[in-house]
Amino acid sequence: MLARLREMVPRGTRLLILTHNNPDPDSLASAAALRFLLAEIAAVEAVLAFGGIVGRAENRALLRYLAVKTQPAEALSFDEFDLVALVDTQPRTGNNSLPPDRLPAIVIDHHPMRRQTRQVPLRDVRRGYGATSTILTEYLQTAGMTPEARLATALFYAIRSETQDLGREASRADVEAALYLFPFTNRRLLSRIEYSRVPLEYFRALGRVLKNATIHDGVVISRLGELEYPDMVAEMADLLLRLEDARWAVCLGTYGDDLFLSLRTSEADANAGAFIRRAVGRIGAAGGHGMMAGGRIPLKDREAKAVARLEERLIGRFLRALKVPPGPGVRLVP
Ligand SMILES: [Mn+2]
């Protein structure tokens, strides 16, 4: 892979590294690592970009400490770049800002392989891996490059958070990458990321999440209303899945002109990604892994009633697919 990267990205290449929209630690750390690697092996200064925003306090802290410049994908002119690399996402997934007519030159990811990815000249898609950051860590190791503290900290935090401390969908490779990185991390930074301060709005949103949550035979569902940031649905689904005996957690909320949804399950043999893609169907874009998945549906009608109808339809589909009888459920917080 390293030899092919060198070949594909000669000195002077104008390279764009794109993560998925509203990036999480795994995609941000992976992008930073790829940039670092290419600067070292090819003297190429790639541009990092993503669509949407980084909302979650931990992720904002990570990006701040990582100290890499990023650009909003919305403001990019893709013609200015010779090559595009996608990390932690793939073409035509609907969760990145790559124009649909543009084929990336490089894809590094750990989600199931998409059809269009097979046409990508340099692709490294490892479905069995818990994090894309693990793949990048292996590249650094193979290249004999020691990651400096901030990058090592970001990669380490990314692997840990993406796999819930190496417990969710983590492979042997993820454990090995985390062990390799740990001595190079800055523990003070790590702690500051993990225990980052949150804005007042966070607690207000949390209050709404808990108030709106209902339990349906092991399935916890919450409608969050208007989101402070899109990935809040994922953060809250993780939280709700901590309920004893919860098998699934589903969170929905709107941000801008889209409805975002997130799905989490405690069942290791489930296929949350396939499940959410079936539920969303053609009205939006969705995908994920075995135990975690997400989706986005463009709203045709932003009116509260229309949104509520759409949410109810989706929740109905989830409950039917999980063979849970319909009904109002039991309130999480009476
Ligand atoms: Mn990932």
**H/E element holding 255?**
strand 248-255
Question: Separation of 301 CA from ligand 1 center, angstroms?
Answer: 31
153 and 226 together in one domain:
no
> Closest Cα to residue 185, out of 155, 160, 162?
155
Question: Separation of 314 CA from ligand 1 center, angstroms?
Answer: 25
CA pair distance 112, 114, nearest whole angstrom: 6
87 and 136 together in one domain:
yes
Structure tokens at 306: 């229309």
Convert the pLDDT of each residue in 127-163 to its tens digit: 999 999 999 999 999 999 999 999 999 999 999 999 9
Question: Separation of 40 CA from ligand 1 center, angstroms?
Answer: 24
Write out the DSSP string of 109-159: E-SPPPGGGGG-SEEEE-TT-S-HHHHHHHHHHHTT-PPPHHHHHHHHHHH
157 and 101 together in one domain:
yes
Question: Separation of 309 CA from ligand 1 center, angstroms?
Answer: 31
Convert the pLDDT of each residue in 271-324 to its tens digit: 999 999 999 999 999 988 889 999 999 999 999 999 999 999 999 999 999 999
Question: Separation of 311 CA from ligand 1 center, angstroms?
Answer: 26
Longest dimension (CA), the chain: 62
Whether pLDDT at 13 is above 90: yes
Last residue of a domain, one of 149, 171, 194: 194
Question: What is the rounded (10 degree) CA torsion for 122, 124, 125, 129?
Answer: -170
Question: Separation of 20 CA from ligand 1 center, angstroms?
Answer: 9
Q: Are 221 and 250 in contact (CB under 8 A)?
A: yes
Q: Are 201 and 194 in contact (CB under 8 A)?
A: no
Question: Separation of 79 CA from ligand 1 center, angstroms?
Answer: 27
Q: Are 289 and 267 in contact (CB under 8 A)?
A: no
CB count in 10 Å sphere of residue 33: 27
CA pair distance 263, 169, nearest whole angstrom: 15
Question: Separation of 89 CA from ligand 1 center, angstroms?
Answer: 8
Last residue of a domain, one of 194, 228, 254: 194
Whether pLDDT at 31 is above 90: yes
> What band does 1 get if pLDDT is binned at 50, 70 and 90?
confident
- Confidence at residue 127, expressed as pLDDT on a 0 to 100 scale: 93
- Confidence at residue 292, expressed as pLDDT on a 0 to 100 scale: 92
Domain housing 282: 202-331
DSSP annotation of 46: P
In CATH, what number is assigned to the domain containing residue 35?
A: 3.90.1640.10
- Confidence at residue 290, expressed as pLDDT on a 0 to 100 scale: 87
- Considering the entire predicted model, what is its pTM? 0.91
Q: What φ, ψ does residue 139 adopt, rounded to 5°?
A: -60, -45
Q: Ion ligand 1 — residues with CB under 5 Å?
A: 26, 88, 132
Q: Are 295 and 306 in contact (CB under 8 A)?
A: no
Question: Separation of 88 CA from ligand 1 center, angstroms?
Answer: 5
Unique residue bearing structure tokens 């970001």? 154
145 and 235 together in one domain:
no
207 and 190 together in one domain:
no
278 and 252 together in one domain:
yes
- Confidence at residue 247, expressed as pLDDT on a 0 to 100 scale: 97
CA pair distance 240, 242, nearest whole angstrom: 5
Share of the chain above pLDDT 90, in %: 95
Question: Separation of 27 CA from ligand 1 center, angstroms?
Answer: 6
102 and 189 together in one domain:
yes
172 and 209 together in one domain:
no
164 and 302 together in one domain:
no
161 and 185 together in one domain:
yes
In CATH, what number is assigned to the domain containing residue 247?
A: 3.10.310.40
Whether pLDDT at 210 is above 90: yes
Distance of CA 186 to the CA centre of its chain: 23
Whether pLDDT at 59 is above 90: yes
Whether pLDDT at 212 is above 90: yes
Whether pLDDT at 26 is above 90: yes
Question: Separation of 157 CA from ligand 1 center, angstroms?
Answer: 12
10 and 115 together in one domain:
yes
38 and 9 together in one domain:
yes
Q: How many domains does the chain have?
A: 2
